[in-house]
């Protein structure tokens, strides 16, 4: 089955429409972060989210650690999916469920080593709708919570896919020239891509077309 594709770091209504036209299943809208690309003000997120077709996932990337703050942020931005790029420190996923019925929860796991497999399996049992495996590092003084352009150990990601019962997105350093290898190695439900599709900070149509074609070709090769 061809993986779903989430285009992240969407910065305008025009970029959202372009990504949808090329077959994106989800769009990522980046709220304030300690580091990394693609951050846009919440009013812009709200504006873009209002234009995204209902069948397309509108993902709010939030670095908030408190469920009360996350709930308030979703209500301001009106997205249909929350992508939690850091670990919750106050509150539980069940609190988000109770306050935001119908809103999907996707927890990011930053794959830094064997410990990430244990974390992913534990989180997957706590009621999230999906996991997203990325290449950030929460241990740094200024946390890296995505948009690094780096790949991580895909063998660990494959073990996570095999070990959990929820869909898994793969992120981190995906490009047209390595996405086929990534799909074969990890077998993810979905792919998440940002920095490799941008030129001077803007979504590049040629790069987007090349990436989507590479995903299509890789899926076709596996089917054969």
Per-residue pLDDT at 96: 98
Per-residue pLDDT at 146: 81
Alpha-carbon span 195 to 89, nearest angstrom: 28
CA distances from 97 to 28, 30, 60, 79, 121 (A): 20, 21, 16, 14, 20
Domain borders along the chain are 4-223
Per-residue pLDDT at 116: 94
Per-residue pLDDT at 224: 56
Alpha-carbon span 192 to 179, nearest angstrom: 11
CA 56 to chain centre: 13
Fold of 4-223: TIM Barrel (3.20.20)
Tens-of-pLDDT digits for all 224 residues of the chain? 799 999 999 999 999 999 999 999 999 999 999 888 899 999 999 999 999 999 999 999 999 999 999 999 999 999 999 999 999 999 999 999 999 999 999 999 999 989 999 999 999 999 999 999 998 777 777 887 887 778 899 999 999 999 999 999 999 999 999 999 999 999 999 999 999 999 999 999 999 999 999 999 997 766 55
């Amino acid at each position: 089955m061809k993986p779903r594709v989430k285009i992240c770091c969407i910065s305008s209504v025009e970029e959202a429409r372009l990504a949808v036209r090329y077959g994106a299943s989800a769009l990522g809208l980046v709220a304030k972060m300690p580091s990394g690309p693609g951050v846009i003000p919440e009013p812009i997120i709200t504006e873009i989210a209002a234009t995204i077709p209902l069948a397309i996932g509108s993902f709010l990337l939030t670095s908030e650690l408190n469920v009360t703050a996350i709930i308030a942020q979703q209500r301001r931005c009106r997205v249909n999916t929350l992508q939690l790029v850091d670990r919750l420190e106050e509150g539980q996923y069940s609190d988000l469920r109770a306050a935001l019925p119908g809103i999907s929860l996707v927890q990011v796991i930053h794959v830094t080593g064997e410990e990430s497999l244990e974390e992913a399996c534990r989180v997957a049992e706590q009621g999230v709708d999906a996991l997203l495996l990325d290449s950030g590092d929460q241990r740094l003084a200024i946390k890296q919570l995505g948009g690094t352009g780096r790949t991580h150990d895909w063998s660990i990601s494959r073990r996570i896919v095999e070990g959990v019962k929820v869909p898994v997105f793969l992120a981190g350093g995906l490009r047209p020239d390595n996405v086929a290898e990534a799909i074969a190695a990890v077998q993810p439900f979905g792919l998440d891509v940002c920095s490799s599709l941008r030129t001077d900070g803007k979504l590049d149509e040629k790069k987007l077309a090349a990436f989507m074609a590479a995903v299509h070709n890789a899926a076709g090769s596996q089917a054969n």
